[in-house]
Amino acid sequence: MMPSKKLLVSAVRKEQILKLLAQGKRVDNRGLLDYRPLSIAPNVIEKAEGSALVKLGDTHVIAGVKIGVGTPFPDTPNEGILIVNAEILPTASEYQEPGPPDEDSIELARVVDRGIRESKMIDFTKLVIEPGKHVYIVYVDISVIGMDGNLFDASSYAAVVALLTTKYYPMVNENGTLVKGSEKVPLPVQDLGVSTTFAKVDSYVIVDPTWEEESMMEARLTIVYDKSGNICAVQKGGNGALLVDDVLNIIDLAKSKSEEMRKVLEGVISNA
C-alpha cells in the first residue's frame, strides 16, 4: 500500500545531473541512450537447473531456475506452468527490510513474468508429461543482491539467460511411476523477449536509469519486444506522468535498443 523508497538526492546533485543531461551526458559519463556496462555470467549455481548472474553497473541480480513436477491448472491441462518470484534482498540497500515480498518485489516479478509469458519464449505445450495429470513447473526465482536502479531489465536479463541455459532431467513414466531420465535436456525455447527501460527525468528521456535518476524521474516505461519486432509487454512505473508524445517516442527508441540488447543476450547464450 505504501509508496516505494526513493533516494534523497540533494539539490546540488540534482542541479549537476540536469546540467549534464542538457549537454547530452550522464553523471557516470554515459550518453542519454547508453546502457551501463553489462556483464552476464550463466551457470553460476551448479545445483540449479539454470542460473545467471547479471551485473548492470552496480545493480546485481541473480536468477535461478528449478524444474519441478506438478498437476496442471484445470483450465490449461495441456500446458506446463511458469512461476516467477522476485525478492529484493536486504543485502541490496539500507532501506530494504527483511520480510515477505513488498509491492516493488511483486511488481518486478509480475513484469518479468509477463515478458517471458507473452513473448511465448518457452513452448509450454511441450512441458507436459501426462495431459491433465503431470506437467513440468518452471520456477524462476530472482534475487536482487545489490540495487542501483533499473531492476526490471537486470532481472529480466537474468531470468531469460537462466531459462535459455537451463538443462534438466526429463521425467519418464515407467510402469505407472515417474522416474528421472538419464540425460539432461534444454527447455523448448522458441522466442526471446528483450526488455528495455526508459525514464523521463525533467524533459529528458534516458535509458537504463540509475537509482539516483529513478529517484528524481517523472516516470519510467519498460517495454518488451519479441524477436519478430512485436511489443509483448509494457509497464509504466513511477508516480508521475508521461506525455503521449514521449510514449510514442520511447516505443520507437525501445525497438532499436532492444535489437542491440538482443545481440548481447544471444552472444552470452551461444557462448554458455
Q: Which residues contact another protein (rule: CB under 8 A)?
A: 1-3, 103, 106-107, 109-110, 114, 117-118, 219, 221, 226, 229-245, 247-248, 251-252, 255
Query: In the complex with another protein, which residue's Cβ is closer, 105 or 165?
Result: 105
Query: In the complex with another protein, which residue's Cβ is closer, 167 or 236?
Result: 236
Cβ at position 256, least distance to another protein in Å: 11
Cβ at position 250, least distance to another protein in Å: 10
Nearest Cα to Cα of residue 167 among 43, 18, 25, 9: 43
For residues 144, 149, 153 and 158, what is the CA-based torsion angle, rounded to 10 degrees? -20
Q: Output the nine-digit C-alpha cell for 10.
A: 540533494
Cβ at position 164, least distance to another protein in Å: 20
Q: Are strands 81-88 and 134-146 parallel, antiparallel or unpaired?
A: parallel
Query: In the complex with another protein, which residue's Cβ is closer, 40 or 224?
Result: 224
Query: In the complex with another protein, which residue's Cβ is closer, 100 or 176?
Result: 100
Query: In the complex with another protein, which residue's Cβ is closer, 167 or 255?
Result: 255
Cβ at position 8, least distance to another protein in Å: 11
Query: In the complex with another protein, which residue's Cβ is closer, 53 or 232?
Result: 232
Instruction: Give the separation between CA 35 and CA 157, rounded to whole angstroms.
Output: 13
Q: Output the nine-digit C-alpha cell for 107.
A: 511488481
Cβ at position 197, least distance to another protein in Å: 13
Q: Output the nine-digit C-alpha cell for 111.
A: 513484469
How far apart, in Å, are the Cα atoms of 14 and each of 4, 20, 80?
A: 20, 10, 48
Instruction: Give the separation between CA 32 and CA 116, rounded to whole angstroms.
Output: 27
Query: In the complex with another protein, which residue's Cβ is closer, 185 or 248?
Result: 248
DSSP letter, residue 93: -
Nearest Cα to Cα of residue 141 among 68, 86, 61, 80: 86
For residues 207, 209, 214 and 220, what is the CA-based torsion angle, rounded to 10 degrees? 30
Query: In the complex with another protein, which residue's Cβ is closer, 26 or 114?
Result: 114
Cβ at position 125, least distance to another protein in Å: 12
Q: Output the nine-digit C-alpha cell for 70.
A: 506438478
Question: 48: exposed, middle or buried (C-beta count within 10 Å: 0-12, 13-18, 19+)?
Answer: buried
Cβ at position 120, least distance to another protein in Å: 8
Answer for the pair 209, 149: CB distance below 8 angstroms, yes or no. Answer: yes
Instruction: Give the separation between CA 15 and CA 263, rounded to whole angstroms.
Output: 36
